[in-house]
Copies of this chain bind each other. A is one copy, B any other.
Amino acid sequence: MSKAPVLTPRADDFPRWYQDLVSKAELADNGPVRGTMVIRPYGYGLWERMQRELDDRIKDAGAANAYFPLLIPESYLAREAEHVEGFAPELAVVTHGGGSELEEPVVVRPTSETIVNASFAKWVQSYRELPLLINQWANVVRWELRPRVFLRTTEFLWQEGHTAHATYEEARDYAAHIHRNVYADFMERVLALDVLLGCKTPRERFAGAVNTLTLEGMTGDGKALQLGTSHELGQGFAKSFGIRYLSREGRREHVWQTSWGSTTRMLGALVMTHGDDAGLRVPPRLAPTQAVVVAVREDDAVLAKAREIGRRLTEAGVRARVDDRVDTPFGRRAVDWELKGVPVRIEIGPRDLESDTAMLVRRVPDDRAPVPIEALPATVPRVLTEDQALLLAQSRERRAERTAEVRTVAEAVEAARTGWARLPWDTLGPEGEARLAERGVSVRCLVAADGSVPERVDQPGNIAVVARAY
């Protein structure tokens, strides 16, 4: 008699497997208002670790955190024509406050370009204030008709950077710096996600940007997930909001701007990329708990030894915890740790005490072996480093295996059933892009012939990478 699977197998129904995992690993629940989510402590613990790692990189890039209001006058959004057109269909509108109808309705921020730039117009006077580099950690609301937890939610959490520079070149370079040295570095090194860096086509650009840089990840079912974007905004907002500075030469000039964001969608990416049929697999550098020491059953000597191992692992720099919930069956706890994807599990029972060993169970390669207890403080950190690299390698391999070179729209649509397709942008073009879109396939990004991020959309030799996307 075989056990019923804990989760719907990925091969049967990938989206249902995803929902099952998010729920059973206690990452998140749906909220009562359609499209909203409750991020549970385990899911939020992952988000906190993401925040810490990203925030460090953002500060290294010279940006300072600040906070702008949630509520924005409707008229602000209208000041930048493309911007309001892009966001109007998704707005949540507050019409009543403090018991009476408001004179001017206010919107719940869908993003903060307008309200941030109204402040920038006050703060920027001269070249001395430039570059002005601001980041905000906040919640935003975009009314979502086809919600999917973490990936598309009516409310989500994110960081949004907003900067102002004296020259076009400086703004362009800063957007690229964030793209490469903040986002890609974080996603590859910490999240162990293989990401493709490129730029968006005009059709897929952020509403109000002149160039959008993107990072695209491949999910376990070969689709694409946009994981972060960094925009060159040109001078559009600067002109709409009157952000001008006095240059060293005494001239009044409009600033050049960028904005960039990454969201709780990264939690969904983690699941969809690293998850397997037993649950999540959390990259060790991200994991709030890297190693859990599980006391197999109620026994004073076992519990004492489990706590000692926990202490010694902590001293060795491992984020360790002890599972001493011996009134819950061991099997159920083991399944739970697999679901949650804790990288290393150390199981210890009465027989292990006799041999002075413990069972070391690795989540990433799905491997178990007895290890002398004395050796654990040296072995566990080594294993964690290996498993971090293994997850990234697996993510890279998947994309290499599942990316096809094609020549036509029909081939691209066919390839997008199971993975990504690459074809020359000059043969595809905006018309081919529109035909793909009719079939549910989009151009995720353009990359240069040598694999780098193109300087311009129409740079000769650009390759369009196309896929179905979540």
Contacts and interface: CB of A to CB of B under 8 A. Distances in A.
A165 B88 CA distance: 45
A38 interface: yes
Given A95-B96, A154-B71, A327 B128 contact: yes
Nearest to A325: B128
Contacts of A36: 69-71
Interface string A364-386: 00000000000000000000000
A138 B38 CA distance: 13
B67 A44 contact: yes
Contact of A64 (B44, B76, B128): B44
Given A64-B41, A90-B98, A94-B94, A70 B32 contact: no
A118 B32 contact: yes
Contact of A134 (B41, B67, B108): B41
Question: Oligomeric state, in number of copies?
Answer: 2
A271 to B, nearest CB: 17
A65 B44 contact: yes
A66 B44 contact: yes
Interface residues of A, number: 59
A143 interface: yes
Contact of A32 (B73, B90, B138): B73
A297 to B, nearest CB: 16
A331 interface: no
Pick the most buried of A41, A47, A99, A108: most chain B CB atoms within 10 A of its CB: A41
Pick the most buried of A33, A41, A118: most chain B CB atoms within 10 A of its CB: A33
Given A29-B119, A98-B145, A155-B70, A64 B93 contact: no
B108 A94 contact: yes
Interface in A87-125: 88-99, 105-106, 108, 115, 118-119, 122
Given A33-B72, A139-B139, A97 B93 contact: yes
Interface of A: 29, 31-33, 36-41, 43-45, 47-48, 64-73, 76, 88-99, 105-106, 108, 115, 118-119, 122, 128, 134, 138-139, 141, 143-145, 154-155, 157, 325, 327-328
